């Protein structure tokens, strides 16, 4: 990590945390993670000055980093205790991965775009994150080797839940996924209770489509 550069953004990061609190985020673990993870390190230099705005930003390869409020809502819905094994579908910039790494015991992250995965792995290494494993591949298939997972986060929208996700979800585990059509979805929380799956809608969202064998075709 480069302390001098990161300290330059300390005030902006603290202001973002205060803004998220004002907007209703109450989970102290989520707020602490956002306060500690240097979001600017995951953003291209050309837009780095906007790193702590509550807005999505381009990260290359036609992808974006979600606005911080979306990350905060996602993480708050998971109710992580710090002991969980988490599967993340869509590494993207690696920022959400870094937040998860501070809030869970182990993170397994899948990305289909090699350039994004390589960049995210490099940045996470630079800031000292060591509890994340990466896979380049089709995120709609999950990562069976290390399942079941206490939590699964899907950072892209699907028309329905890919079967691998519920198959790889542990007892009491929570799956967060945007479900719907390409232009509008409902953020959905699915919890495993034995053989039953409880499903709750958490609010409307708009995410990029989840591409792969068990979702949208590219």
Q: What is the CATH number of the domain that holds 71?
A: 3.40.50.150
For residue 105, being part of any structural domain is answered with yes
Place of tokens 């800031």: 127
Helix (H, G, I), strand (E, B) or coil at 78: helix
For residue 191, being part of any structural domain is answered with yes
For residue 213, being part of any structural domain is answered with no
- pLDDT value of position 4: 42
- What's the structural domain count of the chain? 1
User: Exposed, middle or buried: residue 42 (CB in 10 Å: 0-12, 13-18, 19+)?
Assistant: buried
Per-position pLDDT tens, the chain of length 218: 444 446 778 899 999 999 999 999 999 999 999 999 999 999 999 999 999 999 999 998 889 999 999 999 999 999 999 999 999 999 999 999 999 999 999 999 999 999 999 999 999 999 999 999 999 999 999 999 999 999 999 999 999 999 999 999 999 999 999 999 988 999 999 999 999 999 999 999 999 899 999 998 86
- pLDDT value of position 217: 81
Distance CA 95, CA 165 (A): 22
Contact (CB, 8 A) for 126 and 1: yes
- pLDDT value of position 61: 87
Contact (CB, 8 A) for 180 and 191: no
For residue 135, being part of any structural domain is answered with yes
Active site residues: 66
For residue 214, being part of any structural domain is answered with no
Cis bond upstream, residue 148 (ω within 30): yes
State the residue range of the domain holding 36.
3-205
For residue 140, being part of any structural domain is answered with yes
Helix (H, G, I), strand (E, B) or coil at 121: helix
For residue 39, being part of any structural domain is answered with yes
What does the angle CA 108 – CA 62 – CA 189 come to, to the nearest 5 degrees? 45
For residue 193, being part of any structural domain is answered with yes
What is the model's pTM?
A: 0.93
Helix (H, G, I), strand (E, B) or coil at 26: coil
- pLDDT value of position 6: 65
Residue 64 tokens, joined: 């974006």
Residue 4 tokens, joined: 């001098």
- pLDDT value of position 93: 96
């Amino acid at each position: 990590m480069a302390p001098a550069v990161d300290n330059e953004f300390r005030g902006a990061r603290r202001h973002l945390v205060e803004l998220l609190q004002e907007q209703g985020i109450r989970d102290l673990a989520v707020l602490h993670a956002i306060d500690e993870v240097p979001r600017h390190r995951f953003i291209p230099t050309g837009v780095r000055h906007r790193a702590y705005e509550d807005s999505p930003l381009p990260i290359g390869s036609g992808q974006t980093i979600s606005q911080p409020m979306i990350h905060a809502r996602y993480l708050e819905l998971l109710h992580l205790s710090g002991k969980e094994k988490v599967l993340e579908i869509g590494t993207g910039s690696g920022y959400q991965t870094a937040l998860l790494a501070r809030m869970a015991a182990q993170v397994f992250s899948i990305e289909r775009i090699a350039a994004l995965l390589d960049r995210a792995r490099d940045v996470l290494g630079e800031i000292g994150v060591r509890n994340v494993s990466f896979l380049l591949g089709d995120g709609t298939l999950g990562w069976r080797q290390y399942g079941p997972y206490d939590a699964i986060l899907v950072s892209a929208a699907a028309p329905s839940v890919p079967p691998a996700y519920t198959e790889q979800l542990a007892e009491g585990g929570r799956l967060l996924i945007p479900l719907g059509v390409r232009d509008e979805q409902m953020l959905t929380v699915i919890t495993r209770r034995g053989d039953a799956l409880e499903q709750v809608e958490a609010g409307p969202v708009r995410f990029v489509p989840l591409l792969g064998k068990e979702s949208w075709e590219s």
